[in-house]
């Protein structure tokens, strides 16, 4: 698919996003060769922990491919520092816990999360995704981050369109999202100014029964394991 798109003039970078097991089953050397032949630029692997990410990033470097790590709201500072060091093009910031998909509102704690990422990311851009579907989401996140990732809503747009209108409907959605439609520039809806609303919002006071955050002790052990296995976290 990527090779066909390249033959038709696609110039934009292409990243493959998915789980690690299919990549491993495919064969790592074969993967490198086929990606180079097809014009793939890198990977976003959603279930790859730092222990495996170090080795996978070395593999990507071998094939001159980019590895994009994911950072979620529950990621502790110690793990975040490691993941930011692993990034070689940009960092994918997951806006909320859970699965992908368009939602009606954004996470009220996003400014704090992005600030934490920037503390460790240096000059590496941070793009925010998960739950982004409207132009208001896009505008708000554009003021907070270096990029905005939209996936599920694009798939939904394609699924709803008739076969003959898929390209047209997708072009219209992207034009709306980026403000290239004349009417989009003047749209004023309930979510304009959401950046201020997000900044002033407070997280729910209820304490979850299960915390996904890694403890300091677990982090220390993880960092020690990484150092033992790989010597040090590779520089950018």
Question: What is the per-residue pLDDT across 134-176, written as a single tens digit (0 to 9) for each?
Answer: 888 888 888 889 999 988 889 999 999 999 999 999 999 999 9
Question: What is the per-residue pLDDT across 55-81, written as a single tens digit (0 to 9) for each?
Answer: 888 888 888 899 999 999 988 888 898
pTM for the model: 0.74
Domains of the chain: 1-180 (3.20.20.70)
From 171, 167, 196, 219, select the one nearest 51 (Cα to Cα).
219
pLDDT of 226 reads: 66
Per-residue confidence in pLDDT tens, the chain, 236 aa: 999 999 999 999 999 999 999 999 999 889 989 998 999 999 999 888 877 788 888 888 888 899 999 999 988 888 898 899 889 899 999 986 554 544 556 667 888 999 999 999 988 999 998 878 888 888 888 888 999 998 888 999 999 999 999 999 999 999 998 887 755 545 544 444 445 544 554 444 433 333 334 455 655 655 665 666 556 555 43
Q: SS3 string of the chain?
A: CHHHHHHCCCCCCCEEEECHHHHHHHCHHHHHHHHHHHCCCEEEECCCCHHHHHHHHHHHHHCCCEECCEECCCCCHHHHHHHHHHCCCCEEEECCCCCCCCCCCCCCCHHHHHHHHHHHHCCCCEEEECCCCCHHHHHHHHHHCCEECCCHHHHHHHHHCCHHHHHHHHHHHHHHHHCCCHHHHCCCCCCCCHHHHHHHCCCCCCCCCCCCCCCHHHHHHHHHHHHHHHCCCCCC
Q: How many angstroms separate the CA atoms of 54 and 68, rounded? A: 12
Burial class (CB in 10 A: 0-12, 13-18, 19+), 122: exposed
Q: Residues in the chain, how many?
A: 236
Q: How many angstroms separate the CA atoms of 168 and 147, rounded? A: 24
Q: How many angstroms separate the CA atoms of 134 and 191, rounded? A: 9
Angle at 39 between CA 80 and CA 169, to 5 degrees: 85
């Amino acid at each position: 698919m990527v090779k066909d798109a390249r033959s038709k003039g696609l110039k934009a970078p292409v990243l493959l996003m998915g789980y690690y097991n299919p990549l491993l089953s495919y064969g790592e050397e074969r993967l490198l060769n086929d990606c180079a032949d097809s014009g793939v630029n890198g990977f976003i692997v959603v279930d790859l922990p730092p222990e495996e990410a170090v080795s996978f990033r070395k593999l990507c470097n071998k094939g001159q491919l980019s590895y994009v790590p994911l950072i979620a709201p529950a990621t502790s500072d110690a793990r975040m520092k490691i993941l930011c060091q692993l990034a070689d093009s940009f960092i994918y910031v997951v806006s909320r816990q859970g699965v992908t998909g368009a939602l009606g509102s954004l996470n009220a704690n996003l400014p704090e999360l992005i600030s934490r990422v920037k503390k460790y990311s240096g000059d590496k851009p941070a793009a925010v995704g998960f739950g982004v579907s409207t132009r208001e989401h896009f505008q708000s996140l554009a003021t907070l981050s270096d990029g905005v990732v939209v996936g599920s809503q694009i798939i939904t747009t394609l699924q709803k369109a008739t076969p003959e209108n898929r390209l047209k409907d997708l072009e219209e959605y992207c034009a709306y999202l980026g403000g290239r439609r004349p009417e989009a520039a003047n749209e004023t809806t309930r979510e304009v100014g959401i950046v201020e609303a997000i900044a002033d919002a407070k997280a729910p006071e209820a304490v979850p029964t299960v915390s996904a955050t890694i403890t300091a002790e677990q982090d220390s052990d993880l960092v020690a394991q990484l150092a033992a296995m790989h010597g040090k976290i590779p520089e950018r």
